[in-house]
């Protein structure tokens, strides 16, 4: 038989989701794929139950149900500091995952270049390949994960069509400062590039850092496709609700791409999620308070267990340094960790363009009791994993 597409041969299945399968196989506590083990807010599950009875159960408007877009526009206008037109400036997607893919397909032609910071959320590499675009990787240098403005300008000199900006960043937990974002903005304007942002952790930013929406910088709204989702903010990763916000010229094209990719996001879930979009401001503060506590529990536990790590400024991931164990492959380390210690983690190499093999990623979007249990197990990591090496 003929070969399958070259495009599908260019990337592997997701390492993150593979680690979830390995965690299940060894009955490990899964700190790999970033989703909560706690329930969404009760008001939201109650709204879902009601929608199950009342509907809608048929397709919504392809670019998003009218009441969902209205509620989203109201919330995001407040957050992003500009009036967003629900009729012209939003397309509702199946998660930020589809939003990012649709944004990439909206902006790029095959052969176009896109700047991607490394480490990166692993979908961006596959998105670029699927769109036929060519990534130019710009390192965020550990342990502080800052970029060198000269290296970034070198990348812009290669005339990219767009830059992908994950802020707050998965996996490294960076929250870019206003000054850093202004550097990116100046280059995007100078070299006339679009900026596609992934801001799914916009509400999980630890003090004293603050989230600055890229599109809110002077002159940037017109060239920014702001992608985000409800997955992390309302603990509903399985609902698959996301969106792109951009000027109408861009949204007009993005709607067509989205329509032929998926037709639309689930209508009953959009209906129920209107409840979440109307939550008062206190909801976002209590979400942040909870994650601040989880972060503190987890990084304190790692410190006490003697596991070197980089505390995040935002999102809910921690990169831990496994250099001392001497494994050549971080994938092998993570498989052994799942089997011997009962903890699922993601090999850092899946996020880096550079040959980085000494970092693994844990996430802490878990009930506090799950985190304490995970930390109990991790206390034995040194003993078990070093011994594993000797065998």
Task: Summarize as ranges the residues that interact with ligand PLP (CB under 6 A).
Answer: 34, 95-97, 121, 166, 170, 198, 200, 229, 231, 237, 242
Nearer to ligand PLP, 235 or 357 (CB): 235
Nearer to ligand PLP, 242 or 301 (CB): 242
Nearer to ligand PLP, 89 or 198 (CB): 198
Q: Answer whether the bond into residue 256 is a cis peptide, omega within 30°.
A: no
Residue 390: CB minimum distance to ligand PLP, A: 35
Residue 134: CB minimum distance to ligand PLP, A: 21
φ/ψ of 137, rounded to 5, equals -90, 135
Nearer to ligand PLP, 94 or 378 (CB): 94
Report the distance separating Cα 235 and Cα 237, nearest Å.
6
Please provide the size of the chain in residues: 391
Residue 366: CB minimum distance to ligand PLP, A: 14
Report the distance separating Cα 120 and Cα 106, nearest Å.
21
**Token reading at 38:** 């706690």
Residue 328: CB minimum distance to ligand PLP, A: 27
Q: Answer whether the bond into residue 208 is a cis peptide, omega within 30°.
A: yes
DSSP string of 69-84? HHHHHHHHHHHHTS--
Q: How far is CA 83 from CA 87, 89, 224, 284, in A?
A: 12, 10, 15, 20
Closest residue to ligand PLP using C-beta atoms = 95
Helical spans, DSSP H, in 32-171: 42-54, 66-80, 95-107, 123-131, 149-157
Residue 64: CB minimum distance to ligand PLP, A: 14
CA-closest candidate to residue 316, choices 292, 335, 281: 292
Nearer to ligand PLP, 119 or 336 (CB): 119
CA-closest candidate to residue 32, choices 339, 295, 317: 317
Nearer to ligand PLP, 73 or 172 (CB): 172
Residue 234: CB minimum distance to ligand PLP, A: 11
* Cα distance from N-terminal residue to C-terminal residue, the chain: 45
Nearer to ligand PLP, 229 or 336 (CB): 229
Residue 284: CB minimum distance to ligand PLP, A: 17
């Amino acid at each position: 038989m003929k070969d399958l597409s070259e495009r599908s041969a260019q990337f592997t299945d997701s390492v993150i989701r593979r680690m979830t399968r390995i965690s299940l196989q060894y009955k490990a506590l899964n700190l790999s794929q970033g989703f909560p083990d706690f329930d969404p807010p009760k008001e939201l599950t109650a709204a879902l139950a009601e929608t199950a009875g009342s509907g809608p159960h048929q397709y919504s408007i392809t670019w998003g149900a009218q009441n969902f877009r209205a509620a989203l526009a109201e919330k995001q206008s407040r957050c992003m500091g500009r009036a967003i037109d629900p009729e012209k400036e939003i397309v509702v997607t199946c998660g930020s995952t589809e939003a990012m893919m649709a944004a990439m397909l909206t902006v790029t032609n095959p052969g176009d270049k896109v700047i991607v910071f490394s480490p990166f959320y692993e979908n961006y590499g596959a998105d670029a390949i699927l769109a036929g675009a060519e990534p130019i990787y710009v390192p965020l240098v550990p342990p502080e994960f800052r970029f060198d403005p000269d290296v970034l300008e070198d990348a812009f000199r290669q005339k990219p069509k767009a830059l992908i900006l994950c802020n707050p960043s998965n996996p490294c937990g960076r929250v870019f400062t206003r000054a850093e974002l202004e550097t990116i903005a100046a280059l995007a304007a100078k070299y006339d590039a679009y900026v596609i942002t992934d801001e799914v952790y916009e509400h999980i930013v630890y003090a004293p850092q603050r989230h600055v929406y890229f599109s809110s910088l002077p002159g940037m709204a017109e060239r920014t496709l702001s992608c985000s989702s409800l997955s992390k903010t309302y603990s509903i990763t399985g609902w698959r609700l996301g969106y792109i916000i951009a000027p109408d010229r861009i949204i007009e094209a993005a709607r067509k791409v989205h329509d032929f990719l998926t037709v639309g996001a689930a209508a009953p879930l959009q209906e129920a999620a209107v409840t979440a979009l109307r939550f008062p401001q206190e909801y976002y503060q209590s979400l942040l308070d909870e994650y601040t506590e989880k972060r503190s529990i987890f990084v304190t536990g790692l410190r006490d267990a003697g596991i070197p790590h980089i505390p995040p400024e935002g999102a809910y991931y921690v990169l831990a340094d496994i250099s001392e164990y001497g494994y050549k492959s971080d994938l092998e380390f993570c498989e052994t960790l799942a089997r011997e210690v009962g903890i699922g983690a993601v090999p850092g190499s899946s996020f880096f363009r550079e040959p980085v093999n000494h970092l693994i990623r844990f996430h802490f979007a878990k009930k506090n009791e799950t985190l304490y249990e995970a930390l109990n197990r991790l206390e034995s990591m040194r003993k078990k994993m070093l011994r594993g090496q000797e065998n």
